[in-house]
Amino acid sequence: MPIVSLLNISKSYKEGEKKNQIFENLSMEIEEGEFIVLLGRSGSGKSTLLNLIAGIDAPDSGIIRVSGHKLNHLSETDRTLFRRCHIGFVFQSFNLLPTLTVKENILFPLELNDLLDETGLQGAERLLERLGLLDRKNAFPDRLSGGEQQRVAIARALIHHPDIVLADEPTGNLDLETGQEVLNLLDELVREQGKTLIMATHSQEVIGFADRIYTLRHGRLEATSL
């Protein structure tokens, strides 16, 4: 069974009296362990699609199955609990908690899932070392460079071993060289753990990492050749 299945998804938003149709009868399947890239201009619906897969948004119609859960049948509370357990996030703006240290930010998903034990602490130390952040573990986010903050975000996304990592423009706030380093680390760690990665981006540099590429255009997904 695919780890993500979208069947005839439609989604729209109201802007005043106007209805803005984002998707109409969109379908796709993603297999476990795949690295999927979603390309498209700003406003094409990339972030909306990630939010639907995460259960942050609900579709107007259609069926969404993720990690064996039919998200349409879950309450908002249950979708939140599902997301905490099964999804890891990497955002363009990093979204680190400014009052927590690097290590505390990484451990936060374990706290939410009641998994903060010795195994979790050891896992955080290993990730910190792997990402070259061990000497920065007691620093606060505002003392880090953009590349360092995004590496912390990657560690936080992976610490609780989610089924799926969703990355929304993860290199958008980084220069080309730093962005390439972040992509290399993200690709290596996700593949080592055998996780599924779905990345929304407008950056062409990401294409070389993908197993499959889709372009969102006029509310439809178009397969793009590698």
Residue 216, CA atoms < 13 Å, CB-side half-sphere: 26
Distances (CA, A) of 74 to 30, 57, 88: 21, 12, 19
Helix (H) or strand (E) holding 110: helix 102-112
Q: What are the phi and psi torsion angles at 143 (to 5°)?
A: -100, 5
- pLDDT for 15 equals 83
- pLDDT for 87 equals 97
Q: Spell out the per-residue pLDDT of the chain, length 226, in tens.
A: 899 999 999 999 988 888 899 999 999 999 999 999 999 888 889 999 999 999 999 999 999 999 999 998 899 999 999 999 999 999 989 999 999 999 999 999 999 999 999 999 999 999 999 999 999 999 999 999 999 999 999 999 999 999 999 999 998 889 989 999 999 999 999 999 999 999 998 877 788 889 999 999 888 899 887 6
Domains of the chain and CATH, by start: 4-224 (3.40.50.300)
